[in-house]
Structures are given as structure tokens and as C-alpha cells.
Chain A
Amino acid sequence: MKKDRKIRILLAKAGPDTHVRGISILMSRLRDAGMETIYTGLYQSPETIVEAAVQEDVDFIFLSSHLGRHVALARDIMALLKKKGVDKRIALAVGGVIPKRDFEPLREIGVTGAFQPHTLANVVIDFVNNYVAKADKKAG
């Protein structure tokens, strides 16, 4: 992560999933917390999401998922991030209708955070700040 600029986050929706309440709240709350957010719009694919993430030079992809396909989508997104060689630079987190049973598979794929419905905005903001602080420390 680069210390000299704001944290940049891509808020992503994939496929025919129009549940955007969570994403719209985060869009505003993350901005108020001093971060920059970019919204992909609806009907994206792992390819267009990763393309946008690279183009917008984001630190995070937040995938919002409410149709139960988060593990498969996260796997595809991670594979594409690796293929483009940006998986160390761009982190992936997932939020939405996600049962606990999927948390471990998501971790194994390399997803850095998973959030269930009703997660407080403050919790997400703290998560991003802590993650970035740790990454910065690692980078020295």
C-alpha cells in the first residue's frame, strides 16, 4: 500500500445480483472515513472486476454477494489477480449473504475478510485500516 495517498477501494457486484444496499452504505461511510471508493455498477464478471481494479489502481476489491456464489466468484477473481501479478498489491474482501461454513474456503482462496449481513460500518472501516497498517509495516 502507498502511504502518501488515500486508500482506494473498488466496490463490485457480479452477475445478476442487484442487492446494493450494503454497497451503497459502504460507499458513503468509507468515503467519510477518508477512503476513495469506485463502484463497478451491476452485472460485472470476474474479468471486468479485475480489469477495473487494475485500471483504478485500487488497494482493495470488496465483492458484494447475495446469491450464494461468493466462493466461486472469489476463486475466479483471485486467479485473475495472480495471473496479472497484482495479487500482492490488491486485496480481496467479500460481504453479503455468506454462511460461516464458507469462511474457511474463502480464506484458503486468499480472501482477506468475509462479512455477514448487518456488519456494522465501523467494523469494516477498522478492518481496512488495520489491514493497511499491517501491510505497510510488512513493507517497512
Chain B
Amino acid sequence: MAEEARTTIGGIPIKSVYTPDDVKNIDYKKELGDPGVYPFTRGIYSGAKGVVFGQRPVLGFGLPEETNKRIKYLLQYGMASPSGMPSYNLTMDMCSAYGYDSDDPRMAEFVGVNGPPCNSIRDSEAILEGIPLEGVYHGALSYAPNWRVAHYIAMADNRNIPRRNMAGATLNDSLHGFIGEGLQLFPPRACLRLIVDTLKFVTEEMPYFRACDVQAYSSREAGCTAAQEAAFAVADMMDIVQGCIDKGLDIDAASTHMTFFFACYSDFFEEVAKFRAVRKVWAQILRERFHVKNDKSLRMRIQVKTSATTLPAQHPQLNIFRSGLQALSAIFGGASGLNITCMDEAFSAPTEDSARIALLTGKVIEHETGIVNVADPLAGSYYVERLTRDMEDAIWAYLKKIDEMGGWIKAIERGYPQREIANVNIKESHDLDSGKKIVVGVNKFQPEDSDTDPIEIFDQDPTPTVKEMTKRLKKLRKERDNARVKDVLAQFREGVRGDGYLMPIMVDAAKALCTTSEIFGILKEELGEDHSCLIPPDWAKGA
């Protein structure tokens, strides 16, 4: 009987042994280069630095004060950016992320859920109470338009802190929401406009603020393969780069504000190969296609969150080990930022304990294993180098297809990546049913049936948060200068309508105590809404 061909989880063919023959056509200088040297396959930092990575778990829940407490709790366990600055990675509650205030009855179930509410700059102040604005790397998982970033800028202005001293990062990529499990509010072209708007602002005024983090994580968690994740992320960013060029931005400067937010899955070496290959692809595209000259601008900064969807509810303690392995392959792949997912992901938002354990898992790797002493320690492995090359070929093949469709936005408009992802998901679903693919606890070695949860689970009840936030909103609307609010909102509407520069107006709006729904309400009215997401367009209505 012929042995079935082996592949990585993502479907790249592999052999059981690799030899020098497999790498004889790989030119070290041209295809790998030393760490910190073009094409950055081996990493963006020079070898002297060894392995560099920051650790910023995603956090946020309940009232702004509760989130503030969680930030402080995790800061004492060493949450930090790659450069070693104290840091956090903040989500917003679903209500404010979608542009509603906490007192909107349609959102009553989602206030303070999976993030704190943020109706106005007052809430941003409360979230950061006692945490300095300068010297901290502020991570905000918020989307275009960057109302949250406008809050940071306004807070800095209010305290006479130079804008250029503010360091941090935000997602600001709403184009991936259409194919992932992220957020999407506006039609793709409007998203692009809003993304470029924020990039313009940070390029001109905030040199230490990364303002576009392609959210490949969301498409990966939606089901795509490693090669698809990498290719879709690059294709997405290519449209954004073109958008910046069309707006007259200096792309050498703007590209230093662009980062990539990837997931890390369970196929250990495939993930290592993905990170190594995609850095090279990106550097090559920026140099050859967009004529970026500065070496520093060609470096792909990778932030990794280990996968949540690979962490089942069965035997959840095993998830600490799964995440640890994924973190290890992200580090071997040269990720600059690491965010380890908590073991209780399949049950609820994380408890304080599970968040601490996730954060400290990275610290164990950092301090106890010696892995950080040497940059790109897997380089030269026949298998890793061959797989990196095969991964690169797979990424280029997808990029070619998307290019032929006219770019990323065109591809999502015709449902191409959505369909690719659906196909992967359906195949996996069959493979799990048939036992061709094994996940421990899911379709083999299942735990005994039980009516209780195997670990402590976090509880979020939005009711008290809604009540308190409603009270605060009432007070805010009474206390603020409502004539000024009206003025600045009129100015904002005019800016949105007339293709104006929005970030400076949003900063004014933040200072004037405008609320989230006031800003987003105008955007929704003027730009229209698009809620298509992941499901191939022709699937939605019966078949």
C-alpha cells in the first residue's frame, strides 16, 4: 500500500528526511542574509541583539477602572514592548468598538464585555489612571478610524506632552475584517481612506507610534492556512501602501509605521517557516515594487498572538503547553512581539490567574531556556530552510493570483479569500470527523462527560457596567460645552464628506468630550455601512 503523501497542516508537501541536497540551490547572501540584513529572512534585528521580543497580552473588561486594575496587575509581571518599555494591549468593549455609546439599548448585552467601554476621553483617562503617558508603549487594538489614537493624542496635548514622545501601536486595519473574525463597519474603500488618514498623522507627528497593524490574526483564526495568512496580510498591506502613495505620503517614512499581527498555530516548523518567508517577501516587495530605499523601512515587524482556536475546552490545562509551543515557534520565527493566549479561551474572557500564567509562560522561555541568546537559531537546518523556501513559493503564488484580480480590495469584493478560507474549514471539519486529523481531547482521548467546567471561569455581567456608564454619560453630556461639541461635529461631518483630513478633527472632538457614537454615527451616515464578513457572498442565502 502506498504511503499517503505527508504535508504540513497547511498542505505543503514534506518528506521524512532532509539532506544538503534540499538546500543546495538556496543562496545564503541572496535569500537569507545575516540577521538584521536584507532580505531579513533571519530577522530584523542584528545578531548582536540575540532574540528580541516584547510581551503584551490582550486585556480589558468591565468598567475602565477594572481594566486599569488588570493593566497594573500584569505590568508588575513584566508586560513590555520589544524595546523593553512597560506596555499593555488593550481591547475595547464590543459596544464602543462598533461605534455605540454604553447607553444604546441595542448594545446593552455587550457593554464592558471583552474590553472596557470607551465613550469619551474621560474613559480613556480612567483606563490609564496612574499610568504615565510618556515612557509607556500604548497598545490599543482599535480599528480605523482611530478614535482611540485621537484620545491618546488629545491626552498628551492636554498634559503638554509633545506628541512625538508618545509611543505605541494600534491595529487600524479594517480591511481584514471582511475575511476574518475582526471588525468591519464601512465599505472597503472607505476603510482604506480612514487607515491612510491615521498613517498620515503618525508619519508626520508621531515617529514612535505604529499605526497600521494588518490583522492577519483574524483571518487565520477564521480558518486559513499559514501561507494564505501570510499572503493575504501582504496583499492587504500592499493596497494600503498604494493608498499612502496616492495620498502623497513618503512611503519610506510611512512603512516604518506598518506592522503585521500574525497568529501562530500548531505545526511547529511550518509557523517558523512562515515568519521567515513572509519577512523576505515583504522586504522584496517594498524594495522592488514600491522602490523603498531605506533599509530600516523594509523591516517587517511581526507581532504574534498564539492561536485561540487551537485551544479546546477539553483538558484545558493542556492549552498552557500548546500555547507555549506556539510561542516557541513564534520566537524561533523571529517575532518581535509576543502575546500568549490564555488557556481558558474556549470558555470565556481570561481570569486574572490565566492571564498571569499566559504572560509568565513567555517569561519562562525568555529567562530559563537560553533560547534568547542566539538570533535565528534554526537557520541552516535542511528542513527549516527548505520549508522556508517552499512557504515563500506558496505565498508568491497567492500574491500573483490576487495581483491578477487587481489587488486586495478587488479580491475581497469578489469573495476570493473568503472562498479559500471556507474550503480550508470544510476540509478540516471532514478530517476531524473522519479522524484523519487528530486534536487531543476533541476527537481522540476525550475527557469523561461532566456537568461542570474543568477550570475556574471568568464571569462578565454587563448590567452593573451599563448602569454606571449610563450615569457617567448623562453627567458628561450635561457638563460639557455642547455648543463646542456641535461645532466640532459639524466640522467633522464636513471633513468626512469632503475627503478631508480627519485625525486632527477627531483630536479636537476628543478634547471637546464628543462621544463615540457621535463620531461613528457621522461616519456611518456619510460613508455607508458594510457588514459582509467571511462568509462567501453567494452562501448567505440558501443553496
Contacts and interface: CB of A to CB of B under 8 A. Distances in A.
B542 A25 contact: no
Interface in B492-516: none
Nearest to A27: B539
A67 B450 contact: no
Closest 7 CB pairs of A and B: A16-B94, A69-B109, A16-B98, A118-B312, A99-B347, A100-B453, A116-B313
| Range of interface residues on A (Cβ < 8 Å) | 35 or more
A101 B313 contact: no
Interface centre among A25, A31, A39 (most CB of B within 10 A): A25
B346 A18 contact: no
Contacts of A105: none
Nearest to B457: A99
B535 A20 contact: yes
A52 to B, nearest CB: 12
Contacts of B420: none
A18 B541 CA distance: 18
Interface in A89-136: 97, 99-101, 103-104, 116-118, 120-122
B429 A99 contact: no
A26 to B, nearest CB: 9
19 contacts: A16-B94, A18-B533, A20-B535, A21-B221, A21-B222, A28-B429, A29-B429, A39-B535, A39-B541, A42-B531, A42-B533, A43-B531, A68-B113, A68-B460, A69-B109, A101-B452, A120-B429, A120-B442, A121-B432
Do most interface residues of chain B lie in helix, strand or loop, or is the interface mixed? loop
A23 B450 CA distance: 25
A87 to B, nearest CB: 21
Interface of B: 94-95, 97-98, 106-107, 109-110, 113-114, 177, 181-184, 221-223, 309, 312-314, 345-349, 422, 425-426, 429-430, 432-433, 439, 442-443, 450-453, 457, 460, 462, 531, 533-535, 539-543
A23 B344 CA distance: 21
Contacts of A117: 309, 312-313, 346
Nearest to A20: B534
Given A21-B223, A69-B113, A121 B533 contact: no
Given A18-B184, A101-B457, A25 B346 contact: no
B110 A15 contact: yes
Interface string A17-37: 111110111011101000011
